[in-house]
Structure 1
């Protein structure tokens, strides 16, 4: 059995949320450890990396919009600091986003989204089909309209994860590359973990950042287990042949037959195409139907994609919450904090999540802008509300 070890803070989960939390905690002078058998291999490694605070807006999510915008505003400084510390360019591109409508029904949906954005005071510009094609000439000739959103940017999540790993190591974060098997609770307080190698890890505070698996940790009292669920997303990666100009200059999104599609071009020639949204439990199987749906819809939007080599097909699991918003801060158990349930916005919310959790861990106070996302927003003993149905644009 491994010897007993200790830390001020132990973070369960080494995805983008767990790593940014550990990094910021260590910067505050806390002895910090991360428990994950494969740190840097979370859901963000499958994600496209859209920083889409505006184009991810949905009806009823105005509070989440404020948090998303606040995190997006932090990204340039966040990236600059991380790049300097880790020496890794994370692929941040302030290239903007175009949301396209392929037919009259899609245009009606897009008009509704534009009206919502205007009510929320967001800077978006309506374009005709011709103006949309002038902005992105490779769009299909039938595109009927679009929204230009210059404030929605992108980052490469795989490079972001690599940089966060280096930043954590240089900040003194200890990595335990094993599973956390059970939460230790002593006197109604979380005091550490039992590990899969037989060892234990004592901690002054525990942060549960295990994505869609956050509720699976043994020892969690039922009334504090986070109500998160896996939402499967299949995603494809294509590549521009060497010497060919890119198909797109910015992220392009659309609704095709009511389903959401996006194409995210990288400067290295990669084109990320996604993503399905499937409520089918913890299944990461890539299916023929999912690949067909994505390629079919992408071809209708940008016909040239079918000429590109298909280099990767992956499926990941987003951590969904009942209201599609994250759970941030103290749980109902003393010493246990949550950083999970980010659903579509884990990469986008990385800067502000690290900031919020570092403040909670050092001062015990949840910042004002994060209070709508307290894990205690659902009363103990009462069922969480049903998951909200999304209408994606």
Structure 2
């Protein structure tokens, strides 16, 4: 068994949420260690990177909407600061989003969303099918109408993760590149973690930011374990040859016979198509059915997509929570905080999550915008915990 030096903060999980928490905490003068076998990996490698606070509004999620809008507001400044800190681009594009419908039922659904957006004080413009095709000529002739949302943008999650990793390294964040076996609890307080190789990582405060695996960490009392589950998503990546450019100028979303599909064009010619939503536990298999459904719906939306080279198929796991909102801040176990459960909004909520957790770690106070998402809203009955090996 080896012993690592003690840190002010130990972050368990090196995805974008763990990395932004570490970077922001280091910026507050705290000594930070991140435990993860492959920092910069995780769900960010599969995510499309839509910053869609308005377009992804759902009934019953008005409280989450406020957090999403606040994080979207911070994105330009966050990107500028991060790119200066790491010396590379994160692929942020203020390009807007167009959500369209292909039949009468889906058009009615989109009209309901438009009404909800307006009741929520959000800006979106209803367009006819002809107006949609004027904006995006590659759209199918059958498009019946759509919503133009100029404030919903995009970022490249893979480049974002790489940038955060570099920024952390430059800020002095230490990395323990191993699998976390269990949380260390000393005198009823979180005091660090133990890796599978026996390395002990001591810390004054611990942040559990292990995505969909957050609810599986050994050593955490059962009444404190976050109620986070994996939600599978399959995503395709295609390449737009120069001869086809410009193919799409903005993110395009649609409901096709009740199924959601989106197309996210990158400046480098990549086109991301996603995403399925499947409650299949820990399965990350790319299936023929999933690929077929995405291509079928994308083809109905943009027929020319079938001419593009298919360059990658991936499946990943979103960290879902019971109310689809994140768990941010202190738990009932002193010394342990959570930054997990972001579900479909992890990339969007990166700036506000980093700010909120760093503020709590430095001052002991959770900012007002994060308080509705404190873990205490999910109370559990105490019981014995299970020590399980997990990947941070």
In the alignment, the residues of structure 2 paired with residue 246 and residue 197 of structure 1 have an alpha-carbon distance, to the nearest angstrom, of 51
What per-residue deviation string (whole Å, max 9, x for no partner) do you get for residues 287-327 of structure 1?
Answer: 00000000000000000000000000000000000000000
In the alignment, the residues of structure 2 paired with residue 121 and residue 157 of structure 1 have an alpha-carbon distance, to the nearest angstrom, of 28
Matched, 1:43 2:43: yes
What residue number does 2:161 align with?
A: 161
CA contact (8 A) 1:327 1:342 kept: yes
What residue number does 2:203 align with?
A: 203
Tell me how far 1:217 sits from its aligned partner: 1.1
> What pairs up with 1:1-393 in 2 under 5 angstroms?
1-381=1-381
SS of the equivalent of 1:328 reads: strand
In the alignment, the residues of structure 2 paired with residue 121 and residue 185 of structure 1 have an alpha-carbon distance, to the nearest angstrom, of 46
In the alignment, the residues of structure 2 paired with residue 344 and residue 2 of structure 1 have an alpha-carbon distance, to the nearest angstrom, of 38
What per-residue deviation string (whole Å, max 9, x for no partner) do you get for residues 321-351 of structure 1?
Answer: 0000000000110000000000000000000
Tell me how far 1:180 sits from its aligned partner: 1.1
Tell me how far 1:378 sits from its aligned partner: 2.0
Larger mean Cα displacement after TM superposition, 371-380 or 333-342: 371-380
SS of the equivalent of 1:187 reads: coil
Tell me how far 1:198 sits from its aligned partner: 1.2
In the alignment, the residues of structure 2 paired with residue 212 and residue 120 of structure 1 have an alpha-carbon distance, to the nearest angstrom, of 30
In the alignment, the residues of structure 1 paired with residue 44 and residue 230 of structure 2 have an alpha-carbon distance, to the nearest angstrom, of 14
Tell me how far 1:247 sits from its aligned partner: 1.3
Tell me how far 1:2 sits from its aligned partner: 1.7
Tell me how far 1:167 sits from its aligned partner: 0.2
SS of the equivalent of 2:242 reads: coil
Tell me how far 1:380 sits from its aligned partner: 3.3
SS of the equivalent of 2:248 reads: coil
In the alignment, the residues of structure 2 paired with residue 182 and residue 297 of structure 1 have an alpha-carbon distance, to the nearest angstrom, of 43
In the alignment, the residues of structure 2 paired with residue 246 and residue 204 of structure 1 have an alpha-carbon distance, to the nearest angstrom, of 52
Tell me how far 1:369 sits from its aligned partner: 1.0
Tell me how far 1:37 sits from its aligned partner: 0.1
CA contact (8 A) 1:246 1:265 kept: no
Tell me how far 1:242 sits from its aligned partner: 3.1
Tell me how far 1:245 sits from its aligned partner: 1.1
What per-residue deviation string (whole Å, max 9, x for no partner) do you get for residues 224-272 of structure 1?
Answer: 0000000000000000113431211000000001010000000110000
Gaps of 5+ in 2: 383-392
SS of the equivalent of 2:220 reads: coil
In the alignment, the residues of structure 1 paired with residue 94 and residue 41 of structure 2 have an alpha-carbon distance, to the nearest angstrom, of 25
What per-residue deviation string (whole Å, max 9, x for no partner) do you get for residues 112-158 of structure 1?
Answer: 00000000000000001111111111100000000000000000000
Number of equivalent positions: 383
The root-mean-square deviation of aligned C-alpha atoms, in Å, is: 1.0
In the alignment, the residues of structure 2 paired with residue 282 and residue 246 of structure 1 have an alpha-carbon distance, to the nearest angstrom, of 38
Gaps of 5+ in 1: 383-393
What per-residue deviation string (whole Å, max 9, x for no partner) do you get for residues 11-56 of structure 1?
Answer: 0000000000000000000000000000001101110000000011
What residue number does 2:385 align with?
A: none
Tell me how far 1:197 sits from its aligned partner: 1.9
CA contact (8 A) 1:214 1:226 kept: yes
SS of the equivalent of 2:92 reads: coil
